Structure 1
Amino acid sequence: MSVLPEAPARPALPGDADADVCIVGAGYTGLWTAYYLAVADPSLRIVVLEAQTAGFGASGRNGGWCSALFPKSVAALERSYGRERALALNAAMEASVDEVGRVAAAEGIDCDYAKGGTVVLARTPVQLERARHEAEEAAGYGIDLRLLSAAEATERVGATGVLGATFTPHCAAIQPAKLVRGLAAACERRGVRIFERTPVTRLTRRRAETPHGTVRAPIVVRATEGFTPRLPGLRRAIAPVYSLMIATDPLPASFWAAAGLAGRETFSDHRHLIIYGQRTADDRLAFGGRGAPYHYGSAVDPSFDLEPRVFAELRRVLGELFPSLGDVPVAHTWGGPLGIARDWMASVGLDAATGLAWAGGYVGDGVGTANLAGRTLAHLIRGIDSDLVGLPWVGHRSPPWEPEPLRWLGVNASLRLMTAADATEARTGRPSKRAALMSRVLGA
């Protein structure tokens, strides 16, 4: 993706302060919450506290998929909440993709928004069978996820060995840093105060404590996603797992004539270890995936963004998909932590007794989900009885992760299992039983 200049620094919290709503975290969740609150009630005193700079975490350096993906499948949601509520959440997620585009246009946020949908390729017979199953299941729910033939898929994404694909129109490619910076500016235009370099060291009833002072507010929102374990008492609330990315320099028209992605479709394939990519507005290939290790004690550190082994593997896979890249070098590498709840269920809620609100656990699909979270939190905080506050993820409480070393062993073992499952399927031509078991364990 295009490299943006450093954003102008905002001041740190100058001392103790009072607010109507205090939001901890200036990523998508925190900023969307602030935005919708400020639009609905300009009189609200809203303070956002950020440990680094706005968008420093996953919001500013993700794969640029504004999708309708939710960590739990519709089938899994149906088992727990019933068909009607499961489909309501799916519809709300689909609507969030368009809502992000609407706000970006209304606020003049040039975030390279292009709703080209997502193509998930099937490049082995086993993957093709998974694609067929997903398309059949979606059809049973009336969800727009279509099975493409090999020719139809290759017309959209000119990768090698394509046997077919699934396609959903409910995804837009974006430039994530542009979106989060534009959203922060839109919040400030409405009177929201954003303080950077202000880490919150403790959250208590109606208080957010920092080294620079304490903000007191009837409502305090935790919007910290992968950085949540840094807060006292929340070490086991979320497992931060790293996703890494690479990007090329802009590629010539001759490459794109064969590679396709003319509508800036986001793309992946049906392997178990997640990969994801997009054609950027300035004609780069941006490509990422899982595979980086989970760090003991839910540790998060900038040094964990750098995993040469993972970057090399991403470049190898990208070259396998698009051999015409030749020896085009990687121009940029980056990464960051995403948040995973123990039951793989994202959640949003407000505890009226304590005034503490929260949202997160997006499992890497937070661009669209955070928008839905922000709108939902704005309704919960203002006491609005709406369809949003009745969605099944509202008020959900995930169980804590296991204590160490069980957490470290379990998360890293699952990462290795998914890598091994892909290799086993390529060798045997049969679905991996271990991967299927892991899916059931996770309740997907």
Structure 2
Amino acid sequence: MNSRRYSSAHRRLAVNALSDAEPSCYWLDDVDAPDPRDTLTGGDTADLVVVGAGYSGLWTALIAKQRNPERDVVLLEGKTIGWAASGRNGGFCSASLTHGQANGMDWYPRDMPRLERLGRQNLAGIVETIEKFGIDCKLEKSGELRVATMEYQLADIWVDYQRMLDFGDDAVLLDQDAVRAELKSPTFLGAVWSKDKTVMVDPARLCWGLADACEELGVRIYENSWVNSMVREGATMVLTTPTGTVRANKVALGTNAFPSLLKRVRPYVVPVYDYAIATEPLTDDQLASIGWKNRQGVGDSGNLFHYYRLGEDNSILWGGYDVVYHYGGKIDDSFDQRPETFQRLSEHFFETFPQLEDVKFSHTWGGVIDTCSRFFPFYGTGHGGKVAHATGFTGLGVGATRFGAQVMLDLLDGRKTDITELETVRGKPVPFPPEPLRSGVINMTKWSVERADANEGKRNMWLRTLDRFGLGFDS
């Protein structure tokens, strides 16, 4: 994708393809979506309260019961299961715990061999859970393609490939002909296919299945029960919702992008909006025109990158590129639809797959995710070890949240383990500055990243300065 200059005909094609799209999430627009569970009313007590029923909270509640079936666990969800980032992402479930090997090597190179092994074990545990509980989340063990669309990116892909081999990954380097044999696009110049580090899932169905598994083990789940306050009363934590109260010995926070109930966490994370569109199901002829027989997830290699994959019905989910931050970290449902981003994504889609010019989009959506300056989660406790959090997953939370759940439970149980002693777990990212400086830093970074993509990946002085201080901004 060397140029972003489109003809008026190309722009009209992109706009027309969006004309009948529903402003709703492809995954959540499902006739099999479960009925809402009860709202918390009155009082309840528990050994452990988990706040947030996305992946982070669901994995924490499930593993807590698997470790100790006698532990009384309550899960509080402010809206419904999987309504936020966990139910509306691309469904790329990666073994990486560090937002990719390169990023992990930049931050904690000594930990990386251990983290790579833990990541593989974590992914295997996810697959095992899906199979054990019969979770119908459309699991596909297809791996992921990272494609180069500009010449300079081929060198980056070669470095990634060599690093994958060093870590023992099952990876294949593809030249232009080989990658186009996998997936036909005139923009593809090469790729690396990581075959064993990513599986594809239906993210909403994974949430719903994990909730069912939690209840099967005895977890009590309350939906539409937003936690307004958390205070300590002696040895007990008291969590209050608009219609009820839960008293518990320990609390695990899986709220991620939303303002943490531990205020000390807030400077380290910012909420950003990510967007996606989905096509109508492809016909057999349309699918044949692009190939994609191995159904890999795909990500391109720009700083502003796209991610895309096939759905079960052979629709194409196409997302990413724009990362939007609102002043003051504002979160609002009105931000979930952004027509200018959807048009941009549509234009990029037809640049990548011009043979699909007669395809239309069926859904447009977006939503808030959490990001931190090191691009992968950080951990901590509060209230004398009674509260734990895992925050800042930055787009790879489908898999890494299960690992984060184990960290939180180890911290809450006061266990010193191989995991809790990792420098990665004990360390923290660099906090973001307060407003108005925060918005200035983020906007300057976004502008610089876009310039780098247009300038063969060359990072300007601003980006090099951020690199030196361990600051970043991504989705």
Residue in structure 2 matched with residue 40 of structure 1 by the alignment = 67
> Bigger shift: 104-113 or 2-11?
2-11
Classify the secondary structure of the residue corresponding to 1:374: helix
Residue in structure 1 matched with residue 162 of structure 2 by the alignment = 136
Residue in structure 1 matched with residue 16 of structure 2 by the alignment = none
Q: 1:162 to 1:343 in 2, by over 3 A?
A: closer
Structure 1 CA distance for aligned equivalents of residues 340 and 98 of structure 2:
27
Residue in structure 2 matched with residue 316 of structure 1 by the alignment = 347
Residue in structure 1 matched with residue 180 of structure 2 by the alignment = 154
Tell whether 2:133 aligns with 1:102.
no
Q: 1:375 to 1:261 in 2, by over 3 A?
A: farther
Residue in structure 2 matched with residue 341 of structure 1 by the alignment = 372
- The amino acid that maps onto 2:48 is V
8 Å CA contact 1:235–1:298 kept in 2: the answer is: no
Q: 1:391 to 1:159 in 2, by over 3 A?
A: farther
8 Å CA contact 1:119–1:265 kept in 2: the answer is: yes
- The amino acid that maps onto 1:31 is L
CA deviation string 1:200-258 (max 9, x = no partner)? 12233423222223322121111111113587565434101111010011101222223
Classify the secondary structure of the residue corresponding to 2:299: strand
Q: Which of residues 186, 192, 200 is equivalent to 1:173?
A: 200
CA deviation string 1:162-184 (max 9, x = no partner)? 22112212111111000001111
Where does the alignment leave 5 or more consecutive residues of structure 1 unmatched? none
Q: 1:11 to 1:297 in 2, by over 3 A?
A: same
Classify the secondary structure of the residue corresponding to 1:200: coil
8 Å CA contact 1:24–1:200 kept in 2: the answer is: yes
Classify the secondary structure of the residue corresponding to 1:407: helix
Classify the secondary structure of the residue corresponding to 2:42: coil
Q: CA RMSD in A?
A: 2.4
- The amino acid that maps onto 1:66 is C
Tell whether 2:220 aligns with 1:193.
yes
Structure 2 CA distance for aligned equivalents of residues 261 and 91 of structure 1:
30
Q: Pairwise mapping of residues 290-439 of structure 1 onto structure 2 (< 5 A)?
A: 290-351=321-382, 353-383=384-414, 386-425=417-456, 431-433=458-460, 437=464, 439=467
Tell whether 2:209 aligns with 1:209.
no
Residue in structure 1 matched with residue 281 of structure 2 by the alignment = 250
Structure 2 CA distance for aligned equivalents of residues 7 and 73 of structure 1:
34
Structure 2 CA distance for aligned equivalents of residues 440 and 253 of structure 1:
50
8 Å CA contact 1:202–1:232 kept in 2: the answer is: no
- The amino acid that maps onto 1:107 is F
Classify the secondary structure of the residue corresponding to 1:20: strand
8 Å CA contact 2:387–2:412 kept in 1: the answer is: no
> Bigger shift: 374-383 or 279-288?
374-383
8 Å CA contact 1:345–1:393 kept in 2: the answer is: no
Shift of 1:15: 1.9
Structure 1 CA distance for aligned equivalents of residues 374 and 93 of structure 2:
23
Residue in structure 1 matched with residue 82 of structure 2 by the alignment = 55
Q: 1:193 to 1:421 in 2, by over 3 A?
A: same
8 Å CA contact 1:126–1:431 kept in 2: the answer is: no
Shift of 1:329: 1.6
Residue in structure 2 matched with residue 10 of structure 1 by the alignment = 37
> Bigger shift: 405-414 or 378-387?
378-387
Classify the secondary structure of the residue corresponding to 1:226: coil
Residue in structure 1 matched with residue 251 of structure 2 by the alignment = 220
8 Å CA contact 1:348–1:393 kept in 2: the answer is: no
8 Å CA contact 2:99–2:396 kept in 1: the answer is: no
Percent of aligned pairs sharing the same letter: 33
Q: Pairwise mapping of residues 114-129 of structure 1 onto structure 2 (< 5 A)?
A: 114-129=140-155
8 Å CA contact 2:309–2:318 kept in 1: the answer is: yes
8 Å CA contact 1:339–1:361 kept in 2: the answer is: yes
Shift of 1:79: 5.8
Classify the secondary structure of the residue corresponding to 1:177: helix
Shift of 1:138: 3.5
8 Å CA contact 1:22–1:220 kept in 2: the answer is: yes
Structure 2 CA distance for aligned equivalents of residues 96 and 231 of structure 1:
27
- The amino acid that maps onto 1:18 is T
Q: TM-score normalized by structure 1?
A: 0.91
Q: TM-score normalized by structure 2?
A: 0.86
Where does the alignment leave 5 or more consecutive residues of structure 2 unmatched? 1-25
8 Å CA contact 1:66–1:368 kept in 2: the answer is: yes
Q: 1:440 to 1:250 in 2, by over 3 A?
A: farther
Residue in structure 1 matched with residue 23 of structure 2 by the alignment = none
For this pair of structures, how many residues does the alignment match? Answer: 439
